[in-house]
Structure 1
Amino acid sequence: MSETTTLRAGLIGLGMMGRHHARNLRALDGVELVAAADPGGDPHGAAPDLEVLADVEALIGAGIDYAVVAVPTQFHRDVALALAEAGVHTLVEKPLAFDIGEAEEIADAFEQAGLVGAVGYVERYNPALQEMRRRIAEGQLGEIYQIATRRQGGFPARISDVGVVKDLATHDLDLTAWVAQSRYARVGATATRRSGRVDEDMVSITGALADGTITSHLVNWLSPFKERVTVVTGEKGALVGDTLNADLTFHANADAATNLWESMASFRGVSEGDSITYALQRQEPLATEHQAFRDAVLGEGTNIVTMREGLHTVRTVEAVLESTREGHVVTLP
């Protein structure tokens, strides 16, 4: 790390996601974006005052303290390993790598070098999910029974190298294990291809975490509306997070007499309590992610998605894809 109080940051990958990283790095206190690299240039004008370097070696040569990797997934391994060898702390966009073997290589390299390595699962930093995680940890729901997510919308033209599991479902698999603080034990999934692409564009995933929580995820690129919802149900009620609007609502379990109107009980359920939608500070999740990584590099925080966590998510993603191919439930190691 440089001896000055300002961290020198480098960014490789200036595509659709890279431009947002550039904007946030420029606005980040205590950080200066000093170098950017992309063999395809800078199509969005994300770094207009910087020379666009050709590759990761040139980026390292600029003398950086940490790097953000926003290149396509198939290039994560080579870029990340070069940064680890050079002693550069690194935030890699999700997923950590294209497959389990590459993810293990990356995680091992950063751990052995004693570097801060993180994965860019920006959904974790959504205000609704950050608050949800805090309330669950404090016991608001008691024992957790189920976590269900829905992530649906239209096809993004920017995606060409992976299917909906690696691009979108990976968010839900990561945030579910994080919210519950328990890894996946098994998954079963069914996928389909309806848009004429090679990779899957719709998937339904069920599973269970190591702590017994059951899980359900609906993910697709084929819906005419956009939806990003996480529902956590426990013994004391349910928390519903809408990450599109950064809203969090709590529905309490409570005894509610319906004897005076028996037909009401048939569709209102056996237990009905108060509901409340919380007022949250709505900072951009990517800004929060960058603040957390900066703090981790400075040794002042641990609110990052570690590469070891990213490796487990890659394992879960691979198990989901295996289940879609083989038609059976896959148990994770």
Structure 2
Amino acid sequence: MADLRAGLLGIGMMGRHHARVLRELDGVELVAVADPGGDPHRVAGGLRVLDDVQQLIGAGIDIAVVAIPTRFHAEAALALADAGVHTLVEKPIADTSEIGQEVADAFADRGLVGAVGHVERFNPALQQLRNRLQAGDIGEVYQIATRRQSTFPARIGDVGVAKDLASHDIDLTAWVAHSRYTSVSAQTAHKSGRSFEDMIAISGRLSSGTVVNHLINWLSPMKERVTVVTGDRGTYIADTATADLTFYANGTASLEWESVSTFRGVSEGDVTRFAFAKREPLRAELEAFRDAVGGAESELSTMREAVHTLAVVEAALGSATAGGELVAIAPREA
């Protein structure tokens, strides 16, 4: 079987990594790149840098990756759908969930693979966590809390921290829990002088009854990427920056110190840090995209799942605007 002819729209900060991985994938040939801003990171190699998505389609591509600013996602994705090109769009899927639904429907109606780059699904620690939760290792899941903090990114100019980063946490939470959001409330802060928020705190609930919390900002002098899952048998902590997964089991040994036993509620048990293979998430994601085009099942975020994620982000931003009131999430087609 001939290699899939791949096109890449956008070769900026994120696109340069897609270019590297696409060139290294078996069964894929990167044949065209396009970016109206040129090639600031010199990743085009021997390829001419095309101007737009139509020129990219004209190169005769089978698959495409869209890694351009959010406000251009929908227009590019719809053009690729019309051309019959299987496409992975970087997150979020579009500016709004309503437009995102149009994109999702366009790919579904044409029988094309349409995916969104929620790459945390391919973080080894989160894949291990999802499998262990599904196997019932922790019992009933009570709470999932995430923290995603870092310095301000020069690469982002058209969205706030909610669409850029909270979308990761919302997608990974629903994915590891096998459960969608039913409600959220949130508070935001604007400290950088931009119209977009640079800090958000979200609380919510999944359809399973699990309580969720997300703390996300661009205002911290360190980088933190942590997911904490607490259940009736203990707590998992996934550090997605290092792809480490640790389990803190509830204790089974009796405590003779009465005041400590009463205060703690559950006692401290064994601590296990798991060892497993750690592959680059972006490589695993693009391999899954390639294989999905060939008919294989995968853990890729579908476009319809990405619409739900964006709807949750919108609900959180709406809640913050309304002073933190609880906002219900309307169910959507899976």
Give the TM-score of the pair, scaled to structure 1.
0.97
| Secondary structure of the structure 1 residue equivalent to 2:14 | helix
Amino acid at match of 1:147: I
What's the CA shift for 1:256? 2.7
Q: Distance in 2 between matches of 1:291 and 1:305?
A: 13
Q: Distance in 2 between matches of 1:268 and 1:210?
A: 29
Amino acid at match of 1:146: Q
Identify the residue that residue 312 of structure 1 maps to in structure 2. Answer: 308
Q: Distance in 1 between matches of 2:167 and 2:129?
A: 19
Say whether 1:101 aligns with 2:98. Answer: yes
Identify the residue that residue 293 of structure 1 maps to in structure 2. Answer: 289
Aligned residues: 329
Say whether 1:176 aligns with 2:173. Answer: yes
Say whether 1:275 aligns with 2:271. Answer: yes
CA contact (8 A) 2:226 2:239 kept: yes
Q: Distance in 1 between matches of 2:260 and 2:114?
A: 53
| Secondary structure of the structure 1 residue equivalent to 2:93 | coil
What's the CA shift for 1:48? 1.7
Which runs of no fewer than 5 residues in structure 2 stay unpaired? none
What are the superposed Cα offsets for residues 116-155 of structure 1, whole Å, 9 maximum, x if unpaired?
A: 0000011111110011111111111111111000001110
Q: Distance in 2 between matches of 1:263 and 1:49?
A: 71
Identify the residue that residue 222 of structure 2 maps to in structure 1. Answer: 225
What are the superposed Cα offsets for residues 47-98 of structure 1, whole Å, 9 maximum, x if unpaired?
A: 1210111110110111111000001000001000000000000000001111
Which of 313, 321, 334 aligns to 1:325? It is 321
What's the CA shift for 1:238? 1.3
Which runs of no fewer than 5 residues in structure 1 stay unpaired? none
Which of 11, 18, 21 aligns to 2:18? It is 21
What's the CA shift for 1:269? 4.5
Say whether 1:30 aligns with 2:35. Answer: no
Q: Distance in 2 between matches of 1:301 and 1:177?
A: 19
CA contact (8 A) 1:296 1:303 kept: no
CA contact (8 A) 2:121 2:299 kept: no
Say whether 1:164 aligns with 2:122. Answer: no
What are the superposed Cα offsets for residues 168-197 of structure 1, whole Å, 9 maximum, x if unpaired?
A: 111000000101111100000000111111
What are the superposed Cα offsets for residues 286-311 of structure 1, whole Å, 9 maximum, x if unpaired?
A: 00101111110011232211001001
Q: Distance in 2 between matches of 1:82 and 1:243?
A: 34
Amino acid at match of 1:303: E
Identify the residue that residue 145 of structure 2 maps to in structure 1. Answer: 148
Say whether 1:216 aligns with 2:213. Answer: yes
Identify the residue that residue 136 of structure 1 maps to in structure 2. Answer: 133
CA contact (8 A) 1:231 1:240 kept: yes
CA contact (8 A) 1:96 1:310 kept: yes
What's the CA shift for 1:278? 0.5
Say whether 1:54 aligns with 2:57. Answer: no
Q: How does 1:110-125 map to 2 (within 5 A)?
A: 110-125=107-122
Identify the residue that residue 189 of structure 2 maps to in structure 1. Answer: 192
What's the CA shift for 1:263? 4.7
Q: Sequence identity of aligned pairs in percent?
A: 62
Amino acid at match of 2:6: A
Larger mean CA deviation between 49-58 and 295-304 belongs to 295-304
What's the CA shift for 1:158? 0.8
What's the CA shift for 1:257? 1.6
CA contact (8 A) 2:250 2:266 kept: no
Q: Distance in 1 between matches of 2:315 and 2:56?
A: 35
| Secondary structure of the structure 1 residue equivalent to 2:187 | strand
Amino acid at match of 1:52: V
Give the TM-score of the pair, scaled to structure 2.
0.96
What's the CA shift for 1:224? 1.4
